[in-house]
Amino acid sequence: MSRPPAKTVHIKTYGCQMNAYDSTRMAELLAGLGYAESPAAEDADLVILNTCHIREKAAEKVYSELGTLRRLKQGRQRQGANMVIAVAGCVAQAEGEELVRRAPTVDLVFGPQTWQRLPELLARQQAHGAAVVETAFPAAEKFQALSQRKPSPRTVSAFLTVQEGCDKFCSFCVVPYTRGAEVSRAPADILAEAEALARRGVREVTLLGQNVNAYHGGGLSLAGLIDRLSGIEGLDRIRYTTSHPRDMADDLVAAHGTNDRLMPYLHLPVQSGSDRILKAMNRGHTVDHYLRLIERVRQVRPDMAISGDFIVGFPGETEADFAATLALVRAVSYASAFTFKYSARPGTPAATREDQVADDVALARLHQLQALITRQMQAFNRAQIGKTLMVLMEKPGRKPGQILGRSPYLQGVHMEAPESLIGQIVPVTIKAIGTNSLSGHYAPRARTDSVLAFPAPHGETTL
């Protein structure tokens, strides 16, 4: 008897790392149902768009993609095949039934907390032929599914969700509505997943959460969890993202000065440098609070790379408010940062304010801020030239003979070296900087010192 041809799934991911993590989990779950991953939508039996609702542009992209998929689906149907179209993630959660009304080609809608029900949802859709919409918030059920996962491909660096959701309700943001309330996973489940990853050769984990430093599972803080994870053999690098200034606890700051597996990179969004705007954003912290945090982190870890998120053009933002943001950026000096033009999101308090900033004004501010941050990023990168950094080599580079990895500061580093170094943490002497990455050469005999033992932010050597 010949085996039925394997079904194929194509997953397209938008938005943050939590979506990327969920997409990987969906692929693993579907592999168990006989679905092979297809790099193209054209010949897939099932297409999943794992969507993001954070800004209007992100949400609109989904509808234009659905237009393309509708034509592909019709083409397949003419040939007697079918294509099941599913919308997952935050647009699915926010729009629910509305998605099917606007795009009747959609067969399945499910939110970020319910992808573990995919087998059942697919069966229901196939049995009834009608669209199925699932937007419940069973976070505990999702975490349960995560702990039963069988990690698939061999990767060097992996994401690991430890916390979901947000209770902060910043006045511009949809996340508390799309991802639900803050929930932490049990430490034992996280440790088991990390151990399984390490056994498969993963050397680095990035702990994920919308407010990852608000983690509090089984009596452990994020620092406590990181401490436990540091005992896992082979797991040499630990990162976490995204943090909120209000949850940057003393023990987490201190861990950066004592734990050499904790990488010297901190993504700590501030959004604005004006206290007036921070208050209107309901951020719950001031500029001074943020700057003191950065200072304390740099005291324990002088070479810390600081990253952040900024929104320009929030309703009511004046030239003086924007100047205060530029001043904050100059005071911090970022290694990288993400800058966004405010996007009014339906259902959020800021969207109904009458003092919306004109689009051209917001755009001009965005460009100005981006230019400043690009200069800072280049200066940070340039400062690495001549240093020998420990680089975790992750994959082959774009050019033959090249391999690509990441520095402790999350910079991409490429060099000419054999692929056998992939998966290893090796000393690389930095020779030059490109637009978004560094290049160097393998320096097995170069001296590299841990900056934890020799704090010297502008010294010759670093971790």
**What three-state secondary structure class fits 33?**
coil
161 binds, among ligand SAH, ligand SF4, ligand F3S, none (CB under 5 to 8 A by kind): none
Of 10, 73, 185, 244, which lies in the binding site for ligand SAH, with binding defined by CB under 6 A?
Answer: 244
311 binds, among ligand SF4, ligand SAH, ligand F3S, none (CB under 5 to 8 A by kind): ligand SAH
Closest CB 169 distance from ligand F3S, rounded Å: 14
334: contact with ligand SAH by CB under 6 A: no
d(CA 216, CA 190): 12
d(CA 318, CA 453): 45
Q: Identify which of 99, 96, 108, 229 has the alpha carbon closest to the alpha carbon of residue 162.
A: 229
Closest CB 61 distance from ligand F3S, rounded Å: 11
18 binds, among ligand SAH, ligand F3S, ligand SF4, none (CB under 5 to 8 A by kind): ligand F3S
d(CA 8, CA 393): 31
211: contact with ligand SAH by CB under 6 A: yes
Please spell the DSSP secondary structure of 331-388, one letter per residue.
HH--SEEEEEE----TTSGGGG-S-PPPHHHHHHHHHHHHHHHHHHHHHHHHTTTT-E
Residue span 49-68 as binding mask against ligand SAH, x where in contact by CB under 6 A, dash where not = -----xx-------------
Specify the length of the chain in residues: 463
Nearer to ligand F3S, 15 or 405 (CB): 15
Which sign, positive or negative, has the C-alpha torsion 284, 286, 287, 289? negative
255: contact with ligand F3S by CB under 6 A: no
Stretch that binds ligand F3S, among 12-20, 192-200, 407-415, 431-439 (CB under 6 A): 12-20
d(CA 338, CA 340): 7
Closest CB 289 distance from ligand F3S, rounded Å: 24
d(CA 3, CA 6): 8
d(CA 348, CA 177): 9
Which spans of this chain sit near ligand SAH (rule: CB under 6 A)?
A: 54-55, 166, 172-173, 175, 210-211, 242, 244, 269, 271, 309, 311, 340, 342-343, 345
Which spans of this chain sit near ligand SF4 (rule: CB under 6 A)?
A: 166, 168-170, 173, 175-176, 210-211, 244
Which spans of this chain sit near ligand F3S (rule: CB under 6 A)?
A: 15-16, 18-19, 52-54, 89-90, 174-175, 178-179, 210
